[in-house]
Amino acid sequence: MTLGLAVLCFILLLTALHGVGTDAGLYYAEQTKAGVLPAAGISDADLQTLDGALANYLAGRPNDLLLPLDSAPGEYSVLALRVDGELRPAFNEKEMTHLADCFDLFALLRKVRRRLIPWAVLLIVGGAYLLRDRRRIRRCAALSPLILLIPLGAFAAWAIADFEGAFTFFHRVLFRNNLWLLDPRTDLLIRICPQSMFEDMGRMIALRGLAILAGVPALAAGLTLVWPKPKKSEDDTWNNRDMRRASGAKRMTFGNGAKR
């Protein structure tokens, strides 16, 4: 059951990451806070349009950023904006290749989350059935967040001490190329997505993660307090606490005091 609750926590953490990473309103709030305009070279209205297209693209709706060409069926054009006074595709080939890698990562996230859900249900329900003891279930619930808290806490501590180093490591692990190393002189994507934006988003994911790691065990433990108690018969020695704590001789007592 401990593993099942840990898997559930991981599913919810993936959901939190996905929610933050595909929130157009959050993009815009962070960009406004960082003051990316007018240095980005686009208007405020175009920035909001682009944020919406990016968020939907990463959420699995690529046609919001990639527009089909009527003149060439099967081919697509990147959403066009007026950048530095020139009407052109919002992102160049290098940026779009990197975004395609990001698209694949978010798609993988959703796939992993979907595949883990039945395992979480099976492990939690099966574990609760096998344990059939409220105290042991609460003990398992208390231990479950440690499986994730130790590695994630270590990475979070690193990010707090050296965000740039942790950010670089994170990208080198996830991406098989260096296309994420963008140039603000030529790449709009890096101009509208400053480091401070990723720092704030990382803190938001961390806070939601802490809430999940505390909330799931607390909910599981709370359910044991309100769950109906099983009916016990006089001969049900397994569910009888006194009988389980009795000496070996007493556990061999049956019926009206007869002994074997």
Classify 193 as helix, strand or coil: coil
CA 129 to chain centre: 28
d(CA 62, CA 100): 9
In degrees, rounded to 5, the angle at the alpha carbon of residue 185 between the alpha carbons of residues 182 and 188 is: 65
d(CA 46, CA 49): 5
pLDDT value at residue 246: 53
Name the DSSP class of 69. Answer: P
pLDDT value at residue 234: 46
Average pLDDT along the chain, 260 residues, taken 10 residues at a time: 93 97 97 94 95 96 81 72 91 94 97 96 89 85 90 92 93 93 94 95 95 92 74 48 50 50
pLDDT value at residue 71: 58
What the block records as the tokens of 189 is 């994507």
Residue 78: strand pairing partners: 66
pLDDT value at residue 77: 81
pLDDT value at residue 223: 83
Beta 258-259 vs 253-254: how paired, if at all?
Answer: antiparallel
Cβ–Cβ < 8 Å for 103, 56: no
pLDDT value at residue 232: 56
pLDDT value at residue 238: 42
What the block records as the tokens of 17 is 């990451």
pLDDT value at residue 137: 86
pTM: 0.83
pLDDT value at residue 64: 87
CB atoms within 10 A of CB 97: 12
Where are the domains positioned within the chain?
2-229, 235-260
